[in-house]
């Protein structure tokens, strides 16, 4: 990307505030990052996304090694590195524990069924990665199997990770996914969500091309 380091840091700080206002990233949960030339800018370990300052962001290389003395990258750094490596089109990543999507993660249920045309159009589906200890190599492995095909992935008993070419698009897609998760929960309270037919789903998918 042809953005300055300061402008990227400011972008991440501002989106962190928006995530905080939505209560998508309570307390110290979650992390944010951006591709920056041949490195990555990521939130530091122990930072709070809703209250970020410049000191809460650190530049690291693609081996997840900090390039700034005294600053420790987020414990989920390898998850971000792998997403960027698998997807050259991804420039920003948001990982949060918002309530609706995290409810599906806690229930070990994906959001693959095509209940709403909007979700099919933006995501195709939102798969569920098998549980592994947060920040572990196994978590990266379990989640990375979906990186090639999907922009949003649920992580069992954990949260959600979303990547996009722009930070604004990643944020907007998170909002869409979170509201979709809540809609499905409400629909099930009313007796069950009804999926689109294969023909209807394919018509929506064709609009993505």
CATH node for 5-206: 3.40.225.10
pLDDT over 90, % of the chain: 97
Q: What percent of the chain has pLDDT over 70?
A: 100
* Catalytic residue (choose from 59, 76, 82, 178): 76
Query: Average of pLDDT values for 152-181?
Result: 98
**Is 137 known to be catalytic?**
no
Instruction: Look at residue 83 in the predicted model and tell me its pLDDT.
Output: 98
Pairing of strands 152-155, 128-129: parallel
Closest by CA position to 35, among listed 89, 76, 75: 89
Domain ranges for the chain: 5-206
Work out the average pLDDT over 107-117. Answer: 97
pLDDT-based confidence at residue 3 (cuts at 50, 70, 90)? confident
pLDDT at position 1: 65
Edge-to-edge order in the sheet of strand 92-96: 57-60, 39-43, 31-36, 92-96, 159-164, 152-155, 128-129
Alpha carbon 92 to chain centroid distance?
9
Question: Which residues lie across from 35 on neighbouring strands?
Answer: 40
Distance CA 57, CA 68 (A): 10
How confident is the model over 147-176, as a mean pLDDT?
Answer: 98
Q: Are 90 and 143 in contact (CB under 8 A)?
A: no
Q: Which tens digit of pLDDT belongs to each residue from 67-84?
A: 999 999 999 999 999 999
């Amino acid at each position: 990307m042809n953005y300055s380091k300061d402008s990227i840091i400011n972008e991440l700080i501002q989106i962190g505030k928006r995530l905080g206002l939505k209560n998508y990233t309570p307390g110290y949960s979650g992390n944010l990052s951006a591709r920056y030339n041949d490195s990555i800018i990521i939130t530091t370990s122990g930072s709070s996304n809703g209250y970020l300052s410049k000191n809460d962001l650190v530049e690291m290389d693609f081996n997840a090694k900090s390039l700034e003395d005294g600053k420790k990258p987020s414990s989920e750094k390898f998850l971000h590195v792998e997403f960027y490596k698998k997807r050259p089109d991804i420039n920003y990543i948001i990982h949060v524990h918002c309530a609706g999507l995290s409810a599906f993660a806690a229930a070990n249920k994906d959001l693959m069924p095509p209940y709403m045309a909007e979700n099919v159009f933006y995501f195709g589906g939102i798969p569920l990665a098998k549980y592994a200890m947060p920040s572990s190599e196994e978590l990266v492995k379990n989640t990375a199997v979906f990186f090639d095909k999907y922009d949003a992935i649920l992580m069992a008993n954990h949260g959600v990770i979303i990547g996009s070419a722009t930070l604004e698009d990643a944020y907007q897609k998170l909002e869409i996914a979170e509201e979709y998760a809540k809609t499905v929960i409400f629909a099930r309270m009313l007796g069950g969500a009804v999926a689109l037919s294969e023909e209807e789903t394919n018509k929506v998918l064709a609009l993505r091309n």
